[in-house]
Chains A and B, each alone.
Chain A
Amino acid sequence: MSSHSGENETVDLADGVNHQVAMVMDLNKCIGCQTCTIACKTNWTDSGGREYMYWNNVETKPGAGYPRDWEEKGGGWDEDGEERQPGELPSEEDYGQPWDFNHEEIMYEGSDEPLRPMDDAADWGPNWDEDEGAGEYPNSYYFYLPRICNHCTHPSCVEACPRSALYKREEDGIVLVDQDRCRGYRYCVEGCPYKKVYYNAMKKKSEKCIFCYPRIEGEGPEGEVRGPACAEDCPPQLRMVGYLDDADGPIHKLVNEYEVAVRLHPEYRTEPNVYYIPPFAPPKHTQAGETAEEERIPREYLEELFGPNVHDALDTIERERERVRRGGDSELMELLNSDRSEKYRLEVFNDA
């Protein structure tokens, strides 16, 4: 691992990687509209054996997610981050299969039945448990969790491949599957604890999020440098895109200086480069509708998802919020509320 010194922080990059792309997603802004999901799908996964894939998905937490129960399927590294932990391959049903509908009866057999899935066809699918969440009325809670490949610094998918078909790009640390080397063994699919590598059964190769690298290289619309489609198309603009080692960028500040952007399941030890501003929710209500002191989303649950650093992150944000409420200035709050033009810093290293 090499170190790049920022102003007062040191950023660890993977060996052989010059810079590391990163994304910060502010979960407080996600409205679960799935525009990112569709932006990704129309760009990359609308056909050719990729129909079932969502390189970008948005799931409701608490919830089983996509693929179903991915957090229980293993993968990643052991506690020391040294030995790879094999996982299991999700089933087709875990990803969600297309449902069969009664088109035949209605279109050709004159049935008066409403159009609906056949028999028990509709018993699971991506987003099946959307908005269910957890907790009891009036203190139920949920939030949306958008997920892409984390382009990890210590990727277990790369380690899992016996053919070294997966690699981190030297220039920006994007994790890619070399389609010429891949022979469809699927060790990367089970090896990724986030289940963000997918098997294309038509091509007999594994495929995954490419961080829209043609767009960040300026090969996208109008030949301009653009952020990944999931970020650019997001209506509430909840994603920041840049380089973790860009000491003047907002990502470096949020991750390394204020430490308010945290990793999803850091215990998997893959060192993700997608970070999350953890969600706040209104406090709990009493049965009488009074505001109670207790937090609505249990801290233990957030710690389960984002590790112990989530406490400091939430406390820091709360403190800075309070400062602004009292009329003070807060660079952190400005960063979190910055406009679109500051969210994408992708050309800072172009001269290097």
Chain B
Amino acid sequence: MTRNQLSLVITLAVVVAGAAVLLPAVTDAQTQSGVPVEYVEDSSGFETPTGSGWTAAQTATFPLSGTGADVPMANDVSIEEVQVEAVRTNERIYLRTSWADPTRDASDGSVRSFADQVAVQLPAAGENQPPIAMGSNETPVNIWSWSSSDGTEEIMAAGPGSSTPFAEQTLRTKHTYADGRWHVVFIRPLDPSGSIASSLNTETPPRTTIPTDTANLDVAFGVWNGSNMEVSGRKSASQWHRLAVGSGPPGYERFLWVIAGVAIVLTTLVTIEGIRRKGGE
């Protein structure tokens, strides 16, 4: 094998390896309107909105629009899209939302000031796509809410106007505002039942369990811009999307497969070259 041939082989191997790593992600983003939730062993890079782990996470971008809810000026909203990344460990899900908002607003104590806010909506018992506006009696929803004034709230709702905070919160959030953009990380146990006091009776409304098998879960997002006086049903909301938990093998496995693939290609090429040389003698 000449030097040129060898470098060609190496280049090919690198291209194959790169494609093996990158292509699934690209095709996922094109064919799936959802949030892939990668498994990670170590959550330390995901605990804050600026954690190092998020740069490698796959970003999903969802368009937002007014909801037409039965409140004045429901469709006069200002936030057009939200970006979402998510990972999970064995215990918790880490979901980061971010959106552009040129003004950092808080409900600062006057009648006309409203807070910036973001919410994540999930079916309470994993049902398929409850009514998008706060679920219904038959198909209640859970809402994870963060507001620049009121902080974190974990809410149950069974239709418009019914949202009620859970007495005991299992949700944590971390937020930053920089360069005209909010980043809010929601952190919650995958199965919250274990972290709630056992004294709660069975009448407690259901709290969404995040599945860890390949079963998907619906998810929707809402964002409020305080300076546009957005509150309650006057919000930018997404449609239902899929929270693709456990989609694809965890990252390190994929990396091992890539190494193996490259090794196989190289071994084959070396073998072929060996046979060719032997035949030529």
Query: Using a CB–CB distance below 8 Å, which chain A residues touch chain B?
Result: 86, 89-92, 95, 162-164, 183-187, 189-190, 198-199, 201-202, 204
Contacts and interface: CB of A to CB of B under 8 A. Distances in A.
Contacts of B112: 89-92
Contact of B111 (A86, A91, A164, A202): A91
Given A90-B112, A162-B233, A185-B71, 13 more contacts: A89-B111, A92-B111, A162-B70, A162-B71, A163-B163, A164-B161, A185-B232, A187-B71, A189-B111, A199-B111, A201-B108, A201-B111, A202-B109
B110 interface: yes
Interface in B138-167: 149-150, 160-163
A249 to B, nearest CB: 37
Interface residues on B, range: 20 to 34
B16 interface: no
A163 B107 contact: no
Interface of A is mostly: loop
Contacts of A91: 110-112
B109 A201 contact: yes
Nearest to B231: A185
A92 B232 contact: no
Contacts, number: 50
Which residue, of A183, A189, A190, has the highest number of chain B Cβ atoms within 10 A? Answer: A183
A186 B149 CA distance: 15
5 contacts: A90-B112, A92-B110, A186-B231, A190-B72, A204-B107
A184 B149 CA distance: 12
Contacts of A190: 72
B150 A204 contact: yes
Contacts of B15: none
Contact of A162 (B107, B108, B110, B232): B232
Contact of A86 (B72, B161, B163): B72
Contacts of B150: 204
B111 A183 contact: no
B260 interface: no
Contacts of A92: 110-112
Contacts of A163: 161-163, 232
A92 B160 CA distance: 30
A163 B70 CA distance: 11
B233 A186 contact: no
A164 B70 CA distance: 13
Nearest to B112: A89
Interface in B217-243: 229, 231-233
B12 interface: no
Contacts of B1: none
A198 B110 CA distance: 11
Nearest to A190: B72
B73 A162 contact: no
Contacts of B229: 89
Nearest to B234: A185
Contacts of B231: 185-186
Contacts of A199: 111
Interface string B97-114: 000000000011111100
A163 to B, nearest CB: 4
A190 B70 CA distance: 15
Contact of B163 (A183, A186, A187): A183
9 closest Cβ contacts across the A-B interface? Answer: A86-B72, A201-B109, A163-B161, A92-B110, A185-B232, A199-B111, A162-B161, A89-B112, A185-B231
Nearest to A189: B111
Nearest to B109: A201
Interface in B5-28: none
B263 to A, nearest CB: 60
A91 B163 CA distance: 28
B140 to A, nearest CB: 16
B266 to A, nearest CB: 63
Contacts of A89: 111-112, 229
A204 B70 CA distance: 22
B215 interface: no
A53 to B, nearest CB: 10
B49 to A, nearest CB: 25
A262 B111 CA distance: 31
Interface in B70-95: 70-73
